[in-house]
Homo-oligomer: A and B are copies of this chain.
């Protein structure tokens, strides 16, 4: 499954940190270890003990859980700068995998907690954000229709980006497993949105949203 040769600190510590990011995060950079993962490589496994936390330096990550018969649910996606692995106190309910080749900063959880002050506040804020997102996800999975789910998903991406053209870091199967749908339904909904001139795909994984208001309305 994974034949990537991990390496520690092979990436130069100088990062292109966007301006405005809290200085607190810079402290993290000096505390942890950078590890590179190949696409689809596992960062941590389902039911693994959770004494580490992670930050995406480059690339993107998904958390997922698979049932014994292969059905899969994706918990969330993480982009550059995001912290993840906070989901539990002892054992991970979801596994984490690299969505693309990426570089991850790995830290001991205990280090973060004992650091006090800003870092503790950061840990707290991150966990709260996780809960918020999970609850929004619950509503989506429990009560939204297929088109509403896809619209909500795209809207989330639009709101989390400053670019005009947005590129999806994941394939259709990952979208489907996040949204609780099949790949075919996702594809159909996307085609439908495009036919309605609400989104416009310039490539399989690149799109623009000429009509965000309409998209927001569809997302319900």
A135 within 8 A of B: yes
A73 within 8 A of B: yes
Among the stretches A6-14, A120-128, A196-204, the one at the interface with B is A120-128
**Majority SS at the chain A contact face:** helix
Which residues of A, 75-128, contact B by the 8 Å Cβ criterion?
75, 86-89, 93-94, 124-125, 127-128
Q: Nearest B residue to A89 by beta-carbon distance? A: B128
- Tell me the count of chain A residues lying within 8 A, CB to CB, of chain B: 35
Contact of A220 among B68, B87, B93, B142 (CB under 8 A): B68
A62 within 8 A of B: no
A88 vs B133: C-alpha distance when bound (angstroms): 10
Copies of this chain in the oligomer: 2
Q: Nearest B residue to A125 by beta-carbon distance? A: B89
New A-B pairs, 12, CB < 8 Å, besides A88-B132, A131-B131: A65-B135, A67-B220, A86-B131, A87-B132, A87-B135, A88-B128, A89-B128, A94-B135, A127-B131, A134-B138, A138-B138, A142-B177
- What are 21 pairs between A and B in contact, CB < 8 Å? A65-B139, A67-B139, A67-B143, A72-B143, A73-B143, A87-B131, A87-B135, A89-B125, A89-B128, A89-B129, A93-B135, A93-B136, A127-B127, A130-B131, A131-B134, A134-B138, A138-B138, A141-B141, A141-B142, A141-B180, A143-B180
